[in-house]
Structure 1
Amino acid sequence: MNSERLGNLLNEIDKRLGRLGKSLGDPIDEMHPNSGVAKQIAALRAETRRQTSKIDTLKSADVDQLEAMVGDLREAASRALPSSHSVVHPVKSILTDEVGLTNLISGLRIGLTLLGPDDVLEVVPGQKTAAFQFGFTDDVLTVVDQPLRPHQREEVVALAALEAAIEQGDYVNQDLEQTNVSPRLRDGFLRLQAALASRRNIVLAGARAQICVRLVNGESDELSPSLTALLLGHLEGVSSALAQFQEWRAYCENAFAMNVDPDSVRKVAESARSLAHEVKKTSAIDPSVSDALETVVGWVETEPAPDKRDVLSLVRSLENIWSAVTKALLSLGKEVLSEARKLAAKAIVGLLLTTAAVAIPVLGKLPGSEWIQTAYTFFKGTEPPKVP
């Protein structure tokens, strides 16, 4: 990474520290509970600017020093938090690294080690279990099927349970057609049935089932007791069927282990919605991609405290787009690909860089998603300068 790009990272650290200092009010009174935090911010900004002034000689030891000072800032924030009162959020954001200082320091370290395409490819995973996976078909990025993969020992029982749930779903939807339930409820169960009957995507079926549970609970006062019992009984059967698949069980365990606050979910959703809007403008991306993004965003935006499984689908769907595009673009030198595929991958990376800024600090802190920060930093560093 050249000196200009390293300087951009240092400037970004300085800007974020400046905003952080303003949010604290820059207390100068020694007795103020945040004075220690303010001093550490000032010291870190001074060191950042000093390194910027001699960027051509930046060394690993200098990055180590910045990293140590970030640690000192966190310690000061930890001491100040119990007495911070009106500015508790800025102080807490230092402890959780919501401001993304760690990721920027990592970017400097990556730049100094001259991370190349092969290095990035090594950390990029394949498509992960999620509501949506992506790949290229005829040089166009699109949603790809996810065939069911039951473990050999559970295959017979799992598939039999799924077939029973599908059969029961047909009866349930026939009954719903004869009632005056809301169109939203009827549509929810039709979508669930379609997901089950496709026999392709266990996570999408699970997400549709969760939506139906919320719909039934939300409209239970308007439903007859017998219909409510029928719908909930069917959903319990669906849940039992899904639980027979080890892939769904592992997915749920990963979701429940997530620790992400509502504000971070909002930022990731904002990034995904922006990306969905932008991908509609290019022929290099199939409309199914924007539909998928809008779907996972909708799942987390309909609830004040969204289900963690829906949050994981949002995160992993974004991951899967990054993975598909990164592998396509960085494998260009290893495979004979069409010029259209090359142009498509480059165009999509441009959209990802444009829309990902608010999500990267969040994704970079989630277990298993840290690699996106590496890819983002690499592509950002190789991005051609914009013409004024």
Structure 2
Amino acid sequence: MKATKLFNLLTEIDTRLNRLEKSAISYREPLVRTNIKAQPFFALRDEVRRQLPKVDALREADVAGLERLIRGLQDFTIASPPLSKSPQRFDVSGFSNLVNGLRIGLSQLSPVEMLEAVPGQKTASFAFGFRNDMLTVIDQPLLLHPGEEDLARAALENAIEQGVYLNEDVGNSNASPRLKEGFARLQSALESRANIVQIGSRAQICNRLVNAELDELSGGQAGLMLGHIETVFRALAQFPQWRSFCENALSVDLDFPSVVTVAESAKALAIEVAKSGAVDPSVADALETVSEWATDKPNPDKRDVLSLVRTLENVWSAISKPLLSLGKEMVSQARKTVAVAVLGALIYTASQAIPIMGKVPGAEWVQTAYSYFKNMLPPANP
């Protein structure tokens, strides 16, 4: 039934595209592949026809891709006067309804299929797991490629030693309390050796703080601080997790209002889980922290934005797996209760952020999880 419904929806999209093509011909502006401006039309039609023979394998990432192509086609038709005036003009609401239908169809996955679609914890500033049946922040071990261990560890230890000296110097200076706290937190992250992205995020914060207060620092102080930050980033560059995370961040393309929307969702989630008393306080603190990092200036660092999205993904992953595994393995009733409580808070706070997160490569699966749980396991509103 599910495959038939998805096939019919994709077929309807293809039918509407054919009508649009015929309309263009009637207005003496045929859509041809050699016209670079018409590429959004052919990209969408080609993708729809590529998915038609394999609807059983359709996933949220594919639906999100279709959605992006539809937005591109909308921009093209608006700029094309004949098409914009045509009776068969591009109807973005109609196409959006069809895409939503695809998402609803995907929400009819079985628990096993949904479990397969949920990834494990991703590299981010914070990861989550259960300890004594309570959701809490957990470490993400620093991973090294064989042959790189000695160099990477030596670089990290050098940054830690330099940080001890720097924090002593900064602590005895007239630097602002905010600057002192920033470097103290960076040093704590370095010494914990628990999360490579969190170290990088703390270093980015320190860099922004120093540059914001350059006029109030002596040349020697500023040079010492910036030199330490550079040492930290050189150490991070030795770790494949950090290199991969930075590469992934380059593909993030969200405007600031969208980032603010996701950050507000994370802050709202922090408030809800704190009120529930179902999680360790570190969870709410983590959500508030990544929200602040991503919105402390109008043009946020893409690494901070990716960490915000990945941290939210990790919450979804942490609570989805025990809920979906209940029929296959023993999960304590206490853990189930916590997972359900956090799920309720996620559903309650995530509606505005979900479509935006789906634009970040790799995060499309969250839309599928949201639709699945909202339709199949609807929790009571907090």
| TM value normalised by structure 1 | 0.75
- Deviation larger for 72-81 or 335-344: 72-81
Whole-angstrom CA distance in 2 between matches of 1:110 and 1:118 = 13
> Which amino acid in 1 is paired with 2:296?
T
Change in 2 beyond 3 A, CA 1:384/1:319: closer
**What is the deviation of 1:148?**
1.2
Which of 116, 128, 131 matches 1:122? Answer: 116
Deviations 1:306-334 (A, max 9, x none): 10000011000000000010001111111
Which of 346, 349, 355 matches 1:361? Answer: 355
- Conserved in 2, the CA contact under 8 Å of 1:364 and 1:372? yes
- Conserved in 1, the CA contact under 8 Å of 2:357 and 2:363? yes
Report the equivalent of 1:107: 103
**What is the deviation of 1:72?**
7.7
Report the equivalent of 2:227: 233
**Is the counterpart of residue 317 in structure 1 residue 302 in structure 2?**
no
Change in 2 beyond 3 A, CA 1:255/1:103: farther
Deviations 1:292-350 (A, max 9, x none): 00000010121111100000110000000000100011111111111111111111111
> Which amino acid in 1 is paired with 2:116?
E
- What aligned pairs does 1:51-62 form with structure 2 within 5 A after superposition? none
Aligned with 1:147: secondary structure? coil
**What is the deviation of 1:262?**
1.4
Aligned with 1:134: secondary structure? strand
Report the equivalent of 1:138: 132
- What aligned pairs does 1:260-271 form with structure 2 within 5 A after superposition? 260-271=254-265
**Is the counterpart of residue 306 in structure 1 residue 304 in structure 2?**
no
Deviations 1:28-54 (A, max 9, x none): xxxxxxxxxxxxxxxxxxxxxxxxxxx
- What aligned pairs does 1:26-105 form with structure 2 within 5 A after superposition? 75-81=73-79, 104-105=100-101
Whole-angstrom CA distance in 2 between matches of 1:69 and 1:118 = 26
Whole-angstrom CA distance in 1 between matches of 2:306 and 2:79 = 30
Change in 2 beyond 3 A, CA 1:216/1:123: same
> Which amino acid in 1 is paired with 2:323?
L
Whole-angstrom CA distance in 1 between matches of 2:377 and 2:166 = 53
- Conserved in 2, the CA contact under 8 Å of 1:139 and 1:284? no
> Which amino acid in 2 is paired with 1:285?
V
Whole-angstrom CA distance in 2 between matches of 1:144 and 1:353 = 23
Whole-angstrom CA distance in 1 between matches of 2:217 and 2:312 = 37
- Conserved in 2, the CA contact under 8 Å of 1:276 and 1:289? yes
Residues paired across the two proteins, number:
311
- What aligned pairs does 1:180-195 form with structure 2 within 5 A after superposition? 180-195=174-189
Deviations 1:167-211 (A, max 9, x none): 001111111122101000011000000000111111000000000
Whole-angstrom CA distance in 2 between matches of 1:167 and 1:101 = 58
Deviations 1:135-156 (A, max 9, x none): 1111111101112112122110
Whole-angstrom CA distance in 1 between matches of 2:112 and 2:194 = 33
- RMSD in angstroms over aligned alpha carbons? 2.8
Whole-angstrom CA distance in 1 between matches of 2:243 and 2:138 = 22
Report the equivalent of 1:335: 329
Aligned with 1:136: secondary structure? strand
Whole-angstrom CA distance in 1 between matches of 2:327 and 2:178 = 49
**What is the deviation of 1:78?**
2.2
Change in 2 beyond 3 A, CA 1:110/1:162: same
Change in 2 beyond 3 A, CA 1:275/1:240: same
Whole-angstrom CA distance in 2 between matches of 1:73 and 1:298 = 30
- Conserved in 2, the CA contact under 8 Å of 1:158 and 1:245? yes
Whole-angstrom CA distance in 2 between matches of 1:337 and 1:204 = 30
Change in 2 beyond 3 A, CA 1:68/1:293: closer
- Conserved in 2, the CA contact under 8 Å of 1:100 and 1:361? no
Deviations 1:340-387 (A, max 9, x none): 111111111111100010011111222101111111111011244869
| TM value normalised by structure 2 | 0.76
- Conserved in 1, the CA contact under 8 Å of 2:262 and 2:356? yes
- Conserved in 1, the CA contact under 8 Å of 2:139 and 2:195? yes
Report the equivalent of 1:169: 163
Which of 361, 380, 386 matches 2:374? Answer: 380
Report the equivalent of 2:212: 218
Report the equivalent of 1:158: 152
Report the equivalent of 2:237: 243
Report the equivalent of 2:56: none
Whole-angstrom CA distance in 2 between matches of 1:326 and 1:149 = 25
Whole-angstrom CA distance in 1 between matches of 2:235 and 2:303 = 17
Whole-angstrom CA distance in 2 between matches of 1:279 and 1:332 = 22
**What is the deviation of 1:118?**
0.6
Whole-angstrom CA distance in 2 between matches of 1:289 and 1:159 = 29
Q: Percent identity?
A: 54
**What is the deviation of 1:115?**
1.1
Report the equivalent of 2:46: none
Which of 200, 203, 210 matches 2:197? Answer: 203
**What is the deviation of 1:128?**
0.3
Whole-angstrom CA distance in 1 between matches of 2:125 and 2:199 = 8
